[in-house]
Structure 1
């Protein structure tokens, strides 16, 4: 549980800073653009998915330490599928340009993925 608290102490400020930067940039630079998803819904999605996947990785590491890397790859695949399901309403919408919305979603997606990968590698290397 100590590993989760360390992760939580870093992911919460990371999320707040990223949310603030994206919220500021979307309101300052994209005033004429109407986004399909709000910034907070994107970050709630990413934060919840990242926390659940890391809890799962900790569980796998405690019970089957040699399978943690495979679990990380599997949970990453599930997260990718969840991202596509999350974006289906956007993709089916009648918006002219979907690029700002997709960018607003995938930039934090990859930053969260990098953050989670860093902690997963630390978890695997502790063995």
Structure 2
């Protein structure tokens, strides 16, 4: 297996496991509060974050050899794209009642922040040539 493929596979599996764990905790709390996991676009939020993080990491790995000094900017651009996707597709649904509530904000922020943390850890590994 090529090194690039292995890097992406390891990242995707670890990110998926982390997201499933956080989703389990998140949905458990919602169940305890008697709130459906199908409200507030919770499931699409986790899925979208996962695939956008994979895309960003894939781009980072592919650009590593040729543009190592620009990876930080590419990473920040990827985060900007993720925010853009959420403001274009998720925010209008969240604001249908006039405000974005705590449950809606949490549905967006938990998977976003988790993916951001995992992406940052792997970007540091890429930059330090530990991957």
Answer whether TM exceeds 0.5 for this pair: yes
1:102 is matched with: 105
Distance 1:93-1:12 versus aligned 2 partners, 3 A rule? same
Q: Structure 2: which 5+ residue stretches go unaligned?
A: none
Q: Cα RMSD between the aligned structures?
A: 2.4
Q: CA deviation at 1:93?
A: 0.3
Select between 64-73 and 46-55 the one with higher mean Cα deviation: 64-73
1:123 is matched with: 126
Distance 1:35-1:71 versus aligned 2 partners, 3 A rule? same
How many residues are paired up? 126
* Greater than 3 Å deviation, 4+ residue runs: 30-34
Q: Structure 1: which 5+ residue stretches go unaligned?
A: none
| TM-score, L = length of structure 2 | 0.82
2:92 is matched with: 89
